[in-house]
Amino acid sequence: MVRTWLLGLVMVLAAGAWAKDAAPLVADPALEARVMVIAEELRCLVCQNETLAASNADLAVDLRKQIRIKLVAGQTQPQILDFMVQRYGDFVLYRPPLKASTVLLWAGPFALLLLAAVAMAMSIRRRRREGAGGELSAEEVQRAQQLLQESPAPPGARS
């Protein structure tokens, strides 16, 4: 009985050693809402297909903290976005502006789609041309007839 109690007490105390601290409640919900609005405009540099607001990567958490610090310091949304672009480039913006340095980001998918369509059309044309000239020579016809005569008829086939 005493052993059971001691074992239970040790297990309860040991569980506390692995427990994580709870995330603190946001002190200012208005500030947090502003952080999330800005974080929606920025791409997670680790995940790349998620916004900073949606990502739980360590870098995304750190960048949201950076946004929060800058907002508390009195910076505006455009100032924060400019800072992030200066530090990480236009790629950090979830919707980068169309300019000479980002034209590949905007036109690249369409160029690849066009290239794939041209390659597919060329392949189809080539196959059609090869299929049209697919007649057998007299030698090949004779060899095929020879093979058909040599092979036994499958069961149930008519003679």
DSSP per-residue codes, 18-87: HPPPPPPPPS-HHHHHHHHHHHTTBB-TTTSSSBTTT--SHHHHHHHHHHHHHHHTT--HHHHHHHHHHH
- In the three-class reduction of DSSP (H, G, I as helix; E, B as strand; rest coil), residue 43 is classed as strand
pLDDT at 122 over 90: yes
| φ/ψ (deg, to 5) at 38 | -70, -40
* pTM given for the model: 0.53
Q: Which of 9-13, 55-59, 124-128 is predicted with the least confidence, judged by mean pLDDT?
A: 9-13
What is the arithmetic mean of pLDDT over 126-137? 75
- In the three-class reduction of DSSP (H, G, I as helix; E, B as strand; rest coil), residue 6 is classed as helix
Query: Can you give the pLDDT at residue 22?
Result: 45
Query: Can you give the pLDDT at residue 12?
Result: 64
Q: Domain residue spans in the chain?
A: 27-97, 98-128
What tokens were used for 33?
């809402």
Structural domain 27-97, CATH architecture: Orthogonal Bundle (1.10)
